[in-house]
Amino acid sequence: MSAPQWDLPPELCCRPMAFVALTGLDVVYNAVHRAIWDAFCANRRADRVPISFKVLPGDHEYPKCRTKRTSYEWYIPKGILKTGWMNKHLNLVPALVVVFYELDWDEVQWKEKQSECATRVEIVRTSLQGRNTKVAVVLIQKKTPLPPGEDLIASERAAALCNACDLSGKSLFVLPHTDHLVGYIIRLENAFYEHAQTYYYTEIRRVKSHKEFLNKTTHQLLFVRHQFKTAFFSELKQDTQNALKYYRTAYNLVHELRAHETNMLEIKTMAGFINYKICRLCFQHNTPLDAIAQFRKHIDLCKKKIGSAELAFEHAAWMSKQFQSFGDLFDEAIKLGLTAIQTQNPGFYYQQAACYAQERKQLASQLCPQEGSANSTGPDPLETPTGTLDFYGQRPWRQGHQSIDPPDPEKEKVGILALQRRERGVLHSELIIALLSNAVAQFKKYKCPRMKSHLMVQMGEQYYHAKDYTKALKLLDYVTCDYRMERWWTLLTSILSTALRCSYLMGQVKDYVTYALELIGRAPASTLRDDQKSRIEKNLIKVLMNEVPEAEPDCDQAAARAAHDLWAARVSLAGSNELAIEVQDYVPFVQCKAKFLSPSFHVDVPVQLHVYLKADCPHPIRFSKLCVSLSNKEYSQYCVIEESCQSNDILEPSTQENMCLVPGKMRKYSFKFVARTEDVGKKIEITAVDLMLGSESGRCVFLNWRGGGGDAASSHEALQASRSFRRRPSRPDNQLDWDTISIQANTMIISRVPRISVQLRHEPPALNNEMYCMVVTIHSQEDAVAKDVKLTAGLKPGQDANLSQTTHVTLSSSEMCDDSHPALLPDISLGDLQPGQKIEKPLYIRCGTIGSRIFLVHVSYAVHTIVEDKEIVCKCHKDETVTVETVVPFEVAIKLVSTKFEHLDRVYAEIPFLLMADVLSASPWPLHLETSELQLAAPMAAVGQLESPLEQVVLQTGECASECFCLKCPPVANGTSGVASGRYVISWKRKSAGENVPVVRTVITLPHVIVETIPLYVHAGPPAAARPAALNPLWSPPLKDAPRPRHCSASGVCIIMNLKSSFITAGGGKVRLRILPGAEQEMLYNFYPLMAGYQNLPLLNINLVRFPGFTSQLLRRFLPARIFVKPQGRQADDSFIAAA
Amino acid sequence: MAVCIAVIAKENYPLYIRSVPTEDELRFHYTVHTSLDVVEDKISSVSKALVDQRELYLGLLYPTEDYKVYGYVTNSKVKFVIVVDSSNTALRDNEIRSMFRKLHNSYTDVMCNPFYNPGDPIQSKAFDNMVSTMMVQVS
């Protein structure tokens, strides 16, 4: 009877529904009745009418109705609302009693059955004497009824039955027991519902009618009672709007009551009930703001109504309950679809409820007497004869008492004492925790992480008070992280202090040490005073020495004693005295920063590492071991300092003891080790720093920092320090300032710096396809023998894929590179290199395409060296890269010209023409053209010898070499579409290339030529020059016309010589002749020049009679057009010849 | 008049908290800390485009039975929180606003001090005196 005392009664919290009693159903043995009952009560969905059904036996005794009062004149009410009233109308007094009776219209023994039915109705009526409860009869029939009016017997018998039972026709129903049972049942219950509505309506009228008899002085309580009853009946009638109205009136009336100490509880209880109903209906009407407003009003009105000061905890309990039940209502409304917000959600009400519950607890602890004083001998004043109260909110020892003063002060005192005693038995913390956890759930939902944390702290504290330290620690531990992150140190310290107490009381060594080491830490993070820190540190030292620490102050005495024993047991327990604590995420009292002196170390230099430690606790603390773990475990052995180790180089000289940290002073520990050669190119990381406090003999606590140290507060402190304007105090001993030390948790081992030089000698750019020579010179500057020198040379990987296919590298100059050679020559072994020795290695590179390429020359070797008295083999390497451009060495232009050096776009079959090749050097270096060669394709034939004049020629930049070949093409079938003429091959190399370097053969495919056939060919044979030497123009070289028809048929030719004034001509001016196929006709013309110098020769017009399209224009190109007439010199110079 | 005045850094750690000495100081710390939930929510709910026009005064953050908590956020996301006793109904919104304005001005003065390192706890005497004028006077 502790907590439920303040709970709202269930009949208040449920939704009132019309109560209908069903009688005459045998649901146990009769299957039909069972089916009917199931149809009534199973699957009651929201769309069915709100009725609560109950099966009662036919002779059930309903609560007796008291005789109605006719006058209230002398009546003094004893309380506001009877405790049984709501339940009576919800579950005991039905609005309607239904009598089920199996009777068919064509029943043989109708008379007997009818009278039996009437008897049953009568029994029910008698039991309901004085009530307005309706009675209805349902006939269960086996047959389906005929439509109304058709069954004459039915209507006749129905009327008779109504008469016999004294029922109105509306109260008699027929339930055919057929397939459509549920449908019939739904219709039935709708009819029942109407009857019930009428019943409740009359009840409301009845209660209202009392009002006129009441007077304001003596019947104040009745005003409230009647208003409440009206509202409650309205709710049963499902008239919630009016119910709300009546409840509101009732609420106002409650507060109009004369309040004094004796009835304060009753008033508050009723106010709470009515308030609950109003809020509930407001939420139901979807007006949550009205509900909240009503609740606020309620709280404001009732807050100060504390009542008896000796029972102040009751008020707190009641307030707590008000908030809690409102929170429940709010939450329920949310589940039904209401949306809440961050600042207005049920969480706040639960939180406030928890607040009042805490207040209750506090008041209870103040007001309730301690154990032992309770020795009441008399009967328990809280017991009543019936076991329950008659009226809500009254005192058991003076029920019904309504005057201002208590009837019996002695009894009153005993009663209060009993209540106080009972209050002491209440598990307050449990109540508070339940409320807090409700609130936590809500705040989690509405995104209030900090509120949630705050409530969890409160929960933890309650668990602590409830002595459930495990749960307390769990909750507190959970939230410390958030407060630490947000740097709310005051709050963190307070939480940690509680946690420290919990862990002490539980004898949890690890937790105790963890919280202690944070609490004695540096100033902003731990806000404890120095004397407190000092006390905790002393305790910590005790724990380290495996002794029992002092109890924390403010601990429960008994619990502290128990804890002391627990600790003593732990101390005596051997073994398991090693603890590792990850301090990275806390703010421990020892700060640690570890750094490699450099972000990278050469393998031949020892790796150096400094660990800085600083203690912030009030007293010096000694440690027994400091070790640094590195990602490569092998090095960790070099980074340990222990008590026993006396090596001086780890520690700088200091006045303080090696293994002792003095508060505020920074200590530096240096470690040094030689990296393994296998680790070249790898990263070495500080994975952890461990500081061992205590000793093997006592208890060891390892403070473990992941990585290079630092803690939850250090980064922010470093940031603030870096921003600070304050000048760093210059330290006398050249010590660093703590804030300026930055953590360097990893370093890279890089290979030893090579002491060789690699030089490349070459003549860029490279020429396309040539064997480009690059000489690599390796010069050792090592002091020792460089062993196993290896050269990797060639195209640097990672470039365009095409480049690697068109680049070939070889070491041998003697043969040409081809596709079988790789682009990169790996690991060419060069043997050992003595100090000062030099090696030259020529490389030949052939680049098949032009463009730029990056070449890599990588020389690696091993050398023995001594680091820190340790001989190691260092692998060194040196890379050289060079970008080489590849260009075309020369350009070749091929031209076809006639024998007169006229440009030809086509050649004529059987007629000789010239092929000219111009080789223009584009290379910046002199080119040596070894030979060139013309390789003719099948039909082409050379006229005379095909000898190339280009042999062993050197071309400087921009120079051009030309050669000329006289060719002839026989007639070919499809000559007009072009005939392959062959290839032109040039063999060359750069002039600077050595003897043994093979020549490059560059092949140029000659253009296709169009070959055309002509019917007639004219060949003129004039002298190279005419000389009118003598007066006698007897020098008459025959102008030999030899028209040679190509056609097999003879052709008629007409030759007309146009005479010109500069010559005197001898020969036929116009000749007609006929030339047979293949035949030749020679014609001779003599010209006597009249003028010197270049003179146009007479034009020769040739017309072919058979070929009208053939013009002499075509032939004219075979004939000379001009001739040089030499002026007559003093002596004949036969050797002078000039070409026309 | 206020019972607690706090200045919270952008990163949500306290730069300054002052509460009336008669009551539990820790409780005010918790109250201010939990109010940051609402402040954060209010800041983040303002869309990016409206940030410039955002009013610095956030109004009543949340009511508890005993206190009313008001918030104010500067453009640099430094938060001011003023806790007022719920029973103090005389205090109007406008007065709270002017308290925040005064607080902001005084805070600006603190920031203008070249010897103040932003992010450090505020220890300015002038600021302290100004806050004192806004606090409930305890006799």
Using the Cβ of B113 and the Cβ atoms of chain A, whether some distance falls under 8 Å is answered with no
- In chain A, which residues have their Cβ closer than 8 Å to the Cβ of B14? 487-488, 490
* Residue A323 included in any domain: no
Is A342 an interface residue toward B (CB < 8 Å)?
yes
Are A1107 and A1002 within one domain?
no
Burial per residue of A860-899, b for 16 or more beta-carbon CB atoms within 10 angstroms, e otherwise: bbbbebebeeeebebbbbbeeeeebebeebbebeeebebe
Q: How many CB pairs under 8 A join A and B?
A: 64
Asked if B64 and A348 come within 8 Å (Cβ–Cβ), the reply is yes
- Cβ contact, residue pair A720, B34, below 8 Å: no
Closest residue on chain B to A344 (Cα)? B62
What is the pLDDT confidence band of residue A1031, given thresholds at 50, 70 and 90? very low
Residues in A 695-754 with any Cβ partner in B closer than 8 A: 716, 719-720, 723-726
CB A660 within 8 A of CB A613: no
Instruction: Please compute the mean of the pLDDT values over residues A285-296 and round it to a whole number.
Output: 93
By the CB < 8 Å criterion, does A295 face chain B?
no
Beta strand A18-23 with A96-102 is: parallel
Q: How many domains does chain A have?
A: 6
Q: Give me the mean pLDDT over the A870-891 stretch.
A: 88
Across the interface, of B26, B30, B38, the residue whose CB is closest to A342 is B38
- Considering CB atoms only, which of A343, A490, A720 is closest to B29? A490
Parts of chain B with a pLDDT under 50: none
Whether pLDDT at A328 is above 90: yes
Please name the member of B11, B30, B62 whose beta carbon is closest to the beta carbon of A454.
Answer: B30
pLDDT for the residue A942: 82
Question: Could you give the CA distance from residue A1077 to residue A1046 in angstroms, rounded to a whole number?
Answer: 6
pLDDT at A502: 92
CA angle A1103, A1108, A1110 (to 5 degrees): 65
Residues of A in contact with B42 (CB under 8 A): none
- Sequence ranges of the domains in chain B: 2-134
Sheet holding A838-847, edge to edge: A756-762, A771-780, A838-847, A807-810
Return the residue matching tokens 């668990």. Answer: A463
A487/B64 Cβ within 8 A: no
Query: Is the Cβ–Cβ distance between A469 and A505 less than 8 Å?
Result: yes
Percentage of chain A exceeding pLDDT 70: 88
Q: CB of B11 within 8 Å of any CB in chain A?
A: yes
Write b or e for each residue in A705-732: b if 16 or more Cβ atoms lie within 10 A of its Cβ, otherwise e: bbebbbbbbbeebbeeeeeeeeeeeeee
Domain boundary among A547, A576, A605: A576
C-alpha A36/C-alpha A50 separation (Å) is 18
Residue A997 lies in a domain: yes
List of chain A residues whose C-beta atoms are within 8 Å of the C-beta of residue B13: 486-488
8-state DSSP, A978? -
Please list, in sequence order, all residues whose beta carbon lies within 8 angstroms of the beta carbon of residue B63, skipping any fewer than 6 positions away.
B69, B86
CA–CA gap between residue A465 and residue A517 (Å, rounded): 24
Q: Which of A274, A222, A197 is nearest to A243 (CA)?
A: A274
pLDDT of residue A1033: 33
At A925 the pLDDT is 87
So what's the ipTM on this one? 0.94
Same domain, A123 and A10: yes
DSSP A1047-1116: SSS-EEEEEEEPP-TTEEEES-SEEEEEE-TT----B--EEEE-S-EEEEPPPEEEEESS-TT--HHHHH
pLDDT band at A896 (very low <50, low <70, confident <90, very high): confident
Q: What is the nearest CA distance from A452 to chain B, expressed in angstroms? A: 8
Mean pLDDT of A681-709: 87
Parallel, antiparallel, or unpaired: how do β-strands A1044-1045 and B2-8 relate? unpaired
Q: Is A704 helix (H, G, I), strand (E, B) or coil?
A: strand
Residue A729 bridge partners (DSSP): none
A633 and A763 both lie in a single domain: no
| Eight-state DSSP code of residue A210 | G
**What integer best gives the mean pLDDT of chain A?**
83
Average pLDDT over residues A1076-1093: 73
Specify the pLDDT at position A476.
Answer: 93
For residue A1030, what pLDDT band results from cuts at 50, 70 and 90? very low
Average pLDDT over every residue of A1082-1088: 72
What pLDDT was estimated at residue A24?
87
Separation of alpha carbons A175 and A170, rounded Å: 14
Q: Are A220 and A254 in contact (CB under 8 A)?
A: no
A524 and A624, same domain (yes or no): no
Q: Has residue A1134 got a pLDDT over 60?
A: no
pLDDT at position A733 is: 60
**What does the DSSP 8-state code read for residue B37?**
H
Give the gap in angstroms from C-alpha A450 to the nearest C-alpha of chain B: 5
Within this chain, do residues A49 and A95 fall inside the same structural domain, yes or no? Answer: yes
Q: Which residue has the higher pLDDT, A1088 or A260?
A: A260
Q: Which helix (H) or strand (E) holds A1005?
A: strand A1000-1005
pLDDT at A984 over 60: yes
Residues A96, A178, single domain; the answer is yes
Cβ contacts of A352 on chain B, cutoff 8 Å: 64-65
Q: Give domain status of residue A434, yes or no.
A: no
> What is the reported pLDDT for A1051?
53
In a domain, A632, yes or no: yes
Task: List, for residues A796-824, the tens digit of each pLDDT value.
Answer: 888 888 888 888 888 887 777 777 888 88
User: pLDDT at residue A1034 above 80?
Assistant: no
pLDDT higher than threshold 80 for residue A1057: no
What are the chain B neighbours of A491 within 8 Å (beta carbons)? 26, 29-30, 33
Question: Which residues, numbered 56 to 95 in chain B, qualify as contacts with chain A under a Cβ-Cβ cut-off of 8 Å?
Answer: 61-62, 64-65
B12 contacts chain A (CB < 8 A): yes
- Flag whether residue A451 sits within 8 Å of chain B, measured between CB atoms: yes
Same domain, A63 and A106: yes
Using a 10 angstrom Cβ sphere, with 0-12 exposed, 13-18 middle and 19 or more buried, the burial of residue B53 is exposed
Per the domain annotation, does A75 fall within a domain? yes
Is residue A813 located within the same domain as residue A945? no
Determine, for residues B120 and A447 on separate chains, whether the beta-carbon distance falls below 8 Å: no
CA distance A668 to A736: 10
Q: How far apart are CA A165 and CA A1010, in angstroms?
A: 132
Cα–Cα dist A95/A21, whole Å: 8
Average pLDDT value for residue range A551-566: 86
Nearest residue of A to residue B30, measured between CA atoms: A454
Distance CA A426, CA B106 (A): 51
Whether residue A134 is found in the same domain as residue A42: yes
Between chains, do A447 and B13 touch, taking CB under 8 Å as contact?
Answer: no
Euclidean distance between CA atoms A1060 and A1086, whole angstroms: 13
Contacts of A348 in chain B (CB under 8 A): 62, 64
pLDDT mean over A646-651: 52
Categorize the per-residue pLDDT at A378 as very low, low, confident or very high, splitting at 50, 70 and 90.
low
Predicted confidence band at A1050 (pLDDT cuts at 50, 70, 90)? very low
pLDDT value at position A708? 84
- A1013 Cβ under 8 Å from any chain B Cβ: no
Is A139 within 8 Å of A102 (Cβ atoms)? yes
Say how far apart CA A624 and CA A653 lie, in whole Å.
18
Both A1036 and A988 in a single domain? no
| Residues B2-134, CATH architecture | 2-Layer Sandwich (3.30)
Among the listed residues A566, A381, A608, the one whose alpha carbon sits nearest the alpha carbon of residue A469:
A566
Q: Check whether A493 has a pLDDT greater than 50.
A: yes
Name residues whose C-beta falls within 8 Å of residue A301's C-beta, 6 or more positions apart in sequence.
Answer: A255, A271
- Can you tell me the mean pLDDT for A1112-1118? 68
Could you tell me if A348 lies within 8 Å of chain B, comparing CB atoms?
A: yes
Which whole number is the average pLDDT over A144-152? 72
Could you tell me if A1001 and A1119 lie in one domain? no
Residues of B in contact with A488 (CB under 8 A): 13-14, 29, 33
B118, A723: Cβ pair inside 8 Å? Answer: yes
Closest CA of chain A from B130, distance in Å: 23
The arithmetic mean of pLDDT across residues A819-848, rounded, is: 86
Question: Residue A280: which residues within 8 A CB-CB, separation 6 or more?
Answer: A291, A329
Tell me, what's the pLDDT at A1112? 65
Taking the CA of residue A724 and the nearest CA in chain B, the distance in Å comes to 6
Same domain, A706 and A666: yes
The amino acid occupying position A183 is: G
Alpha helices in A288-381 (DSSP H): 288-302, 312-335, 346-367
Residue ranges making up the domain that contains A714: 590-642+657-719+738-750
Two tokens, residue A658: 């090696």
- For B65, which of A355, A457, A524 is closest by C-beta distance? A355
pLDDT digits over A964-980, tens only?
888 888 877 776 677 88
Q: What is the pLDDT of residues A441-456, one digit of tens each?
A: 999 998 889 999 999 9
In order of A140, A400, A808, A997, the CA distances from A819 in angstroms are 107, 118, 7, 18
The answer for residues whose C-beta is within 8 angstroms of residue A932's C-beta and 6 or more apart is A917, A919, A948, A950, A951, A963, A984, A985, A986, A987
Residue range A1013-1042: mean pLDDT, rounded: 51
Query: Looking at the predicted structure, is the pLDDT value of residue A1039 above 50?
Result: no
Q: Is the pLDDT of residue A900 over 90?
A: no
